[in-house]
Structure 1
Amino acid sequence: MSDDEVLTVAKFADSVKDDYSEMRWLKALYKRLQTQDGFSHSQTTVIRVARSLAASFYKLGFPKKGIFILEPFQSLENRDINSDVAFYLSNATSDENETIPEPATEDAMYEALCREEQKSLHELAKLRCFLRDTIIPYYKAKEEVVNYEPRIAIFHDVISPTSIEHLKSIASKGLTRSTVFLENTGPNGQVTITYGKQDNIRVSQTCWIRTDEYPELSRLENRIQLITGLSAEYKPVRSHSEKFQVVNYGVGGMYTAHHDYTEYKLGIISNPMDSEDISTSGDRMATWMFYMNDVKAGGATVFPEVRTRIPVAKGGAAFWYNLRPSGATDPRTLHGGCPVLVGSKWVTNKWIREEGQMDRRLCGLTEEAVEDFPKI
């Protein structure tokens, strides 16, 4: 990245009040400008970066560090630098810590998983790949278990290159900025929900595809049903699943940690923006996500609550239940899409609703009951 690009990132971090990230970018740039003989750039550029870094330290509550950065330039008798140093001296205290603690965030594990695997070698050694039986005796699904409880798996070779290109071709004509629904709690504790909101927690483009408009896609629904035992049939009214959601993530595209379940009730209209096909179809019982291309760097799907990471695998599909057998929501299915670092990422989601699954998934006798999966 060029110096100007780094400064642009730091300026954006400042605009969204992410002072810690701003400091880290500026600190890295300042270090890069330094050489054994002084600095590698013009004095004007170095002073600009030094003053910005000192201001960043001050905002984090470390004025002494700002003074330390500016001290080498005081001999220049620069009015701005001397003014900055005087200001930081007036705000410095004797009990300032030596190190700046990394801010504790809910996304810490999400970010760690995006960087690398977080399970121990002992835990990874217990995971297995096997051929899963289906209702067709001669067809077995290639299942790779990435977490046992809750069961999270990736099924390999479940969508052909032809189907992938067909989905991309349809979606490319109707991609729009992805939206989310946000919950806000007012001063009186009243919760308001904003539907269809564009927000930086999700950076991608989306297109919804109806199976009744493209009947050839019913083959993919049949394959999902064949492997999972759940009905993935799309219907104009009381649908068993949602439309195919094709999503494209460009460089930097991501979706921070979230749950897929909605807590909507079967037979009751809960979301006024839902179309007639799913308005009374209940909650999202399960998630099926096709991976439609390989990603050179980034783009993994991660589950912070269970320290699980699924790298992108073209032709495969991730699958997990969002609800327990009792029907209760499972908070452990919190997941997110990591930022794409190189290239782009194409996925197709198929959310399976409670409607139509009554005779396909056995209810648990207790709220803590677990799924009776095939033995490995």
Structure 2
Amino acid sequence: MRSKLLSMVLTGALCVGMLSGCGGQTASNEGGSSASSDKPYHVTVIVKHTDGHFNKVIAGARAYDAEHDNVTVEIQSPTAATAYDEQVNMIETALGNPGIDAVVIAPQQSTSTATLVSSTDKPVVALDTDFTSDKKACFVGTGNEDAALSGGKAVAEACKALGKDKPTAVIIAGVQGDETHEARLRGYRDAIEAAGGQVLEVQYTDTMPDKAAAAMEAVIQKYPNGVDAVLSIADDMALAAAKVIKDSGNTNYADTVLCGFDGNQSAIEAVMDGSLTIDIAQMGYDMGYKAVEAAVEVLDGGKVEGFIDSGSKVVDSSNIDDYISDMKTKGLWE
């Protein structure tokens, strides 16, 4: 594969590097078309920020680039998940640049993103987080509510195995109003309540580990006798909560079931060593690949489904080896 110019926007500066082909990496293309014309296309992918999940998304987008000589993929990322002005500027610039043919956006703010794309003639694909717009070709991402529901059911079963038939739970949420985070919150809540349990607290933390740690400290202080489960909407927050529980020395939290969401290597390793009980893995690599694939399909005059589910998997001690093997195959395990 020929090398292509990719760019990552970090801390407001544009860092440019030459990246080679991805060594034969492939993504699952179920339901999608792998065929494209030979027309040269430039696709910009704007993510929310860079973390373990979006690094997998970026890897998938780059894999599509490496496999298609006529497609160049540019990656852009704000410095933080709440760097709203940065992402707005990126979206405006990409939409206004005549050299960019299609834009894939993981919106930090769905409403403002819908406004920004309202007058564009370029194909726009929503990635990871959906937004409502008649300019949007499709949404490619995890079925977040269903994924969280499946993970929440696994949490309830793990609690039941410990003799806690009606589990008490705390949910460590992300950015209030974010469609993805709210969908995960609904799935978690529904699973716990369907099991006869109770959600005691919902703590919004803006997807910041330090805020998640502070939230967990507050929970331990408020419920010194322990809670049965802590469910986080992202891995970084789950790991922060796990560290606070360990450092607290409160033995009433020794068997608290801890659940993360993303499938990042650090969280999977925590499942391996018992720091986390369950992790809900997004198929981020496939998400990035399928999003660029959908954009190219539209550029070629084809049609795509309104929602393309990139998949998810509940990972625990029973299937962790298979998940790690898949990540290694895709070059996503260090």
TM-score range, shorter-chain basis?
under 0.3
TM-score between the two structures when normalised by the length of structure 1 = 0.24
TM-score between the two structures when normalised by the length of structure 2 = 0.26
**Higher radius of gyration, 1 or 2:** 1
Query: Where is the helix percentage greater, Structure 1 or Structure 2?
Result: 2
